[in-house]
Amino acid sequence: MKKKIKIAPSILASNFSILGEEITAISKAGADYIHFDIMDGHFVPNLTFGPDTVKFLRKYTKKVFDVHLMIKPVDKFIIPFIKAGADIISFHPETVKNANKTISLIKSYKKKVGLVLNPNINENKIYPYLSKIDLILVMSVYPGFGGQKFINSQLKKIERINKKIEKEKLTIDLEVDGGVNFNNAKKIINAGANVLVAGTSCFKGGKRFYKKNILSLKKTK
Ligand code: DX5
Ligand code: ZN
């Protein structure tokens, strides 16, 4: 069964001086998720937002808050992000001692959990957890900054993971993050992704273009 294509704008590319307004505008423009790239300047070379920012932005939209943790350690921040309003929490398995424990903690609060694969990490790393997770996030750039170029080798990885999900008849979202744009979105969707994270492409041109940007990414015809 064809999964609905969802767009998750990354606020990393939004105007930080008016974050609340940006969240309201991109939500009205048709975003399915709001993607928060949480970076600690340790696991990745950049520093972005914490639970308090997420908490203050919660009141600007009802959309799903899709929180991508590029931090280490992870466990002590799970509850603060859940209390701040996160609906989905995704983390990189190499940032935790015991992925099962972290997954159980997130699920104990009835939130969705995702595992994240950097371009150099093989998908086999997360296969032991497939029955416990709701989302797989394939990084198509090395995390840290928006506006990077999509790493084409990840298309084959997306195809392999999609085949595995279909073979095991799992209901898992396959999300792709990094360098997604109007020119490559169709081939990423055709490879099997059903959630596209996009910062630069969604926020390009300012508010009056947001709806068109989102629709252009979803277009597969
Ligand atoms: C990791 C970040 C970026 C961001 C998307 O660096 O996760 O991938 O969300 O950035 P764009 O869409 O501008 O490539
Ligand atoms: Zn991300």
> What averages of pLDDT result for each successive group of 10 residues across the chain (221 residues)?
90 97 98 98 98 98 98 98 98 98 98 98 98 98 97 98 98 98 97 98 98 92 60
Q: Which domains does the chain have, with CATH numbers?
A: 6-218 (3.20.20.70)
CA of 118 from ligand 2 middle (Å) equals 11
Is 173 among the residues known to form the active site? Answer: no
| Residue 38 CB-density burial (10 A; 0-12 exposed, 13-18 middle, 19+ buried) | buried
Q: Going by C-beta distance under 8 Å and a sequence separation of 6 or more, which residues neighbour residue 122?
A: none
Residue type (1 letter), 90: S
Annotation says 87 is catalytic: no
Question: CA separation (Å) from 57 to 23, 118, 195, 197?
Answer: 8, 27, 22, 19
Q: Are 180 and 148 in contact (CB under 8 A)?
A: no
Query: For residue range 97-127, what is the model confidence (pLDDT) as tens digits?
Result: 999 999 999 999 999 999 999 999 999 999 9
Cα–Cα dist 99/96, whole Å: 6
Atom of ligand 1 nearest to the CA of 139: 8
- SS3 state of residue 160: helix
Name the residue of 37, 149, 184 whose CB sits within 8 Å of the most ligand 1 atoms, as the mutation to test its pocket.
37
> Are the beta carbons of 19 and 195 closer than 8 angstroms?
no
Report which ligand 1 atom has the smallest distance to the Cα of 144: 6
Task: Supply the residue whose CA is at minimum distance from atom 14 of ligand 1.
Answer: 179
SS3 109: coil
